[in-house]
Amino acid sequence: MESEIAKFGLTAIYLFAIQYLTRIGVKISVKLIRHEINESSESRADSLVYKVFGLYFMQSYIGVFYHAILHRNFKTLRQVLIQRLIASQVLENLMENSVPYLKYSYKKHRAVRKKKHENRSSKSKVQVTSRVEKEYLKPLYSASIGEELEDGLFDDFLELALQFGMIMMFACAFPLVFSFAVLNNITEIRADALKLLTMLKRPVPRAAATIEAWLNIFQFLIVMSICTNCVLLVCLYDQERKWKIEPGLAAILVIEHVLLLIKFGFSNFVPEEPAWVKAYRVKNATLAQNVCSKQLLRSISGKRKVKSEKHE
């Protein structure tokens, strides 16, 4: 029991250290992006997302791949998956909620001290009660990679992508790993709601046609999960490492190719936007345009009437 607790503790320390070491690479990526020639801010943001995700992908999965493919120790692999998921989820939830709360508490404490210093003569208790004051003191909903390119959705998407990859790429080694993700996501819904409503400033809405670079990242993780699970099945089947083409290995290769064909078939032949959704969207856009044009005509006709009345 003590050894298991020690393993979880060491895993948490490792993840905590890696998070801060990875931020060095993130800062370098941000500086490189500033020197790139991109068509728009969206392409700059996408480029940064790809670079940062690549860094987190390497630091998150390199140890798991080591146990899965080189060592082929599936018992250790299951333990590593459990430790990573539990430790990372607990650590991320603590960091997500504690850091904004501490920032808000510190700013609130400074504001109260400043008010006390300004109102020395007053003996009444100084508090920050105004809703505007509280909103002003809350930290921004910003990303860890830089406020100028991404908002706080970057960190949320990154967390989901890493969790999705951890579950999908090693599913055949430990199928029940998804249960940890389900529990985490249930608590994450309420934790994010608490964070957005009480601890952070309201995020500024921004229009986006798609989830942009993250869609390609999830597509990449799906392809990787098919290949990784097939490799794990090969390792389970060929434990003696003979690498002979036998019916079992041939079946695994056929399954891999079939799954890849299904995936790319859905990606290429199934539209991202169904026809009825597109028609409904076009209809709404047309109605909105008609309403705007009618309002514009009314305002123009009203101005003309006013001018004619003045001339009369």
Q: Are residues 292 and 182 in the same domain?
A: no
Cβ-Cβ contacts under 8 Å for 57 (sequence gap 6 or more): 162, 165
The verdict on 82 and 156 lying in the same domain is yes
Q: What is the pTM of this model?
A: 0.75
Q: Classify residue 199 by its DSSP letter.
A: I
Give the Å distances, CA to CA, from 132 to 129, 201, 211: 9, 11, 32
Q: Tell me how many degrees the CA angle 69-71-225 measures, rounded to the nearest 5.
A: 25
pLDDT of residue 269: 83
Q: Looking at residues 257-261, what average pLDDT do you find? A: 86
CA 92 to chain centre: 12
Cβ atoms of 248 and 230 closer than 8 Å: no
The pLDDT score that the predictor gives to residue 145 is: 66
68 and 146 belong to one structural domain: yes
Res 190: pLDDT: 84
Using 50, 70 and 90 to split pLDDT, how confident is the model at 277? confident
CA angle at residue 140 from 148 to 108, to 5 degrees? 145
Same domain membership, residue 186 and residue 87: yes
Q: Are residues 211 and 149 in the same domain?
A: yes
Residue 254 lies in a domain: no
Chain segment 173-221, per-residue pLDDT in tens: 778 878 878 888 888 888 888 888 888 877 777 666 567 788 889 989 9
Q: Do residue 86 and residue 157 come from a single domain? A: yes
pLDDT at residue 211 in the model: 73
**Per-residue confidence (pLDDT) for residue 129, from 0 to 100:** 62
Q: How many CB atoms lie within 10 A of CB 89?
A: 19
Residue 16 sits in the same domain as residue 100: yes
Q: Report residue 247's pLDDT band, with 50, 70 and 90 as the boundaries.
A: confident
- In this predicted structure, the answer to whether residue 228 has a pLDDT above a threshold of 80 is yes
Q: Is residue 307 helix, strand or coil?
A: helix
Residue 249 lies in a domain: no
Residue 269 lies in a domain: no
In whole angstroms, what separates CA 91 from the centre of its chain? 16
Provide the pLDDT for residue 291.
81
Q: Which of 237, 260, 284 is the last residue of a domain?
A: 237
Residue 119 shares a structural domain with residue 219: yes
The whole-number pLDDT of residue 15 equals 66
Looking at residues 86-102, what average pLDDT do you find? Answer: 76
Rounded CA gap, 125 and 109, in Å? 13
pLDDT at 100: 79
| 56-81 pLDDT per residue, tens | 888 778 777 777 776 677 777 777 77
Q: How many domains does the chain have?
A: 2
Note the pLDDT of residue 97: 76
Has residue 250 been placed in a domain?
no
b or e along 109-142 (b: 16 or more beta carbons within 10 Å of the residue's beta carbon)?
Answer: eebeeeeeeeeeeeeeeeeeeeeeeeeebbbebb
Domain boundary, last residue among 237, 267, 301: 237
Query: Which residues make Cβ contacts (< 8 Å) with residue 236, sequence separation at least 6?
Result: 74, 172
pLDDT for the residue 230: 84
Do 168 and 281 have their domain in common?
A: no
Task: Check whether 223 has a pLDDT greater than 80.
Answer: yes
Contact 56, 25 (CB under 8 A): no
In this prediction, residue 306 has a pLDDT band, given cuts at 50, 70 and 90, of: low
Q: Final residue of a domain: which of 207, 237, 267?
A: 237
**Chain length of the chain:** 312
Inside any domain, residue 268: no
**How high is the pLDDT of residue 115?**
73
CB 195 within 8 A of CB 97: yes
- Please report where in the chains the tokens 């998956």 appear, as a residue: 81
Residue 264, in any domain of the structure: no
CB atoms near residue 256 (< 10 Å): 17
Domain housing 293: 276-312
Note whether residue 246 is domain-resident.
no
Residue with more model confidence, 206 or 160: 160
Q: What tens digit of pLDDT does each residue of 120-155 get?
A: 655 556 565 677 777 777 777 777 666 555 667 788
Residues 298 and 160 in one domain: no
Judge if 149 and 294 occupy the same domain. no
Residue 98 has pLDDT above 60, yes or no: yes
Query: Is residue 259 assigned to a domain?
Result: no
Same domain as 69, residue 20: yes
